[in-house]
Structure 1
Amino acid sequence: MNIKYEWIPDENIECCRELCNELMAFQKSKTQVSPERFDSMNFDTRMVPSVQKALYNHIIVAKHDDDIVGYVYSNISPKEAYNNEFATFFDLSTVDGKNVGCLSQFYIKEAYRQYGIGSTLFDKSMEWLKQFEDIHDYFIFVSNGNENALEFYKRKGFAVSHEILDGFITVLRGSR
């Protein structure tokens, strides 16, 4: 399978709309806690605001021929960005420094899973995040019910830190 990986500048995130919306639907289909929370989550309410609020963004898409079949979105943001009206994602006092790295969104179309695309996207994301020498804490937020994602991130060296929103999200943490 001929998969190409391409960096997407912030102004071209529209190409991720369909997959981001698929991700939200996928997460809702897996969740066992508060699935209604996903009713208002989509590209316009999740990805666009996150890209706008982050200090730095990194979006990589996986393409099969000209079709985007997966993407990963990572960012560097002030740690205070994760204490908002939706939730407090982690204890800010435990973060070394003023900013954190986050693997924010990650999705691969079902027919393209199990070909190593996820590992490649993950590695490209972590490579980018680790370029920031002042960033020591990395977070991934996994919706409940998505056990495959949870196990994938654990195999990649992330550890479960805690749950938030009564188990709606599992917070994983890694460090430099």
Structure 2
Amino acid sequence: MELNYEIIPDHEIEVCRDLCNELMKYQKEKAVMSPELFDTMNFDTRMVPSVHKAMHNYIVVVKDRNELVGYVYANISLKGVYRNDFATFFDMNSVQREAVGCLSQFYIKEKYRQYGVGSKLFNMSMDWLSSFEEVDDYFIYVSSGNDDALSFYQHKGFTISHEILDGFITVLRSKKVSENEHNHIF
């Protein structure tokens, strides 16, 4: 195994097409409620619009030699992006700033899930998200039935905020810790 992590510019997101579509298939297979909602979710309906609506994007792909084996997509977006015809993803009044950070998509092929790839991608994403001074709130959305992902994010310090769409999606949240709070904790 020869893993390489590569940051992809927005205009090259096409390289994520197959992995994004695999993620949607995986989420549908895991779904314990309304799996049919994933029938219209794919690279063109999920990733492309999100990249275009975001203020800043961060896309990292993982390759084993030349084979793509995983990716993460995080973004900084105006909080209003998360209120649309599909759902309102969080209480807008609970976010004081105009922008939020989101770890939006995260997928690793099954045979690569036990080698620390997920932790490395998560840490890279969180380092990038926390580099934006104007963002204090970070969100992750986990579809029903994806208990492994839910546990992973909770282990990384995110807490369950609430559910939306009658439990179809669990919203996880984390807030930026200020330097004073960080020093006071230790």
Whether the TM-score (by the shorter chain) exceeds 0.5 is: yes
How far off its partner does 1:114 sit? 0.7
Q: Which runs of 5+ in 2 are unaligned?
A: 177-186
Per-residue CA deviation, residues 100-123 of structure 1 (Å, 9 max, x unaligned), is 000000000011111100000000
In structure 2, the residue matched to 1:50 is 50
How far off its partner does 1:159 sit? 0.1
Quote the RMSD (CA, aligned, Å): 0.5
Take 1:95 and 1:151, find their aligned partners in 2: how far apart are those partners?
Answer: 24
How far off its partner does 1:49 sit? 0.3
In structure 1, the residue matched to 2:4 is 4
Residue type of the alignment partner of 2:158? F
Per-residue CA deviation, residues 42-95 of structure 1 (Å, 9 max, x unaligned), is 000000000000000000011100111000000000000001000000000000
**1:61 maps onto 2:31 in alignment:** no
In structure 2, the residue matched to 1:159 is 159
Residue type of the alignment partner of 2:23? L
TM-score calculated relative to the size of structure 1: 0.99
In structure 2, the residue matched to 1:173 is 173
Amino-acid identity (%): 64
Q: What is the count of residue pairs matched by the alignment?
A: 176
Take 2:113 and 2:56, find their aligned partners in 1: how far apart are those partners?
Answer: 28
In structure 2, the residue matched to 1:28 is 28
**1:97 maps onto 2:97 in alignment:** yes
In structure 2, the residue matched to 1:115 is 115
SS in 2 for 1:90: coil
How far off its partner does 1:150 sit? 0.1
Residue type of the alignment partner of 1:119? S
In structure 2, the residue matched to 1:130 is 130
Q: Which runs of 5+ in 1 are unaligned?
A: none
SS in 2 for 1:171: strand
SS in 2 for 1:22: helix
SS in 1 for 2:101: strand
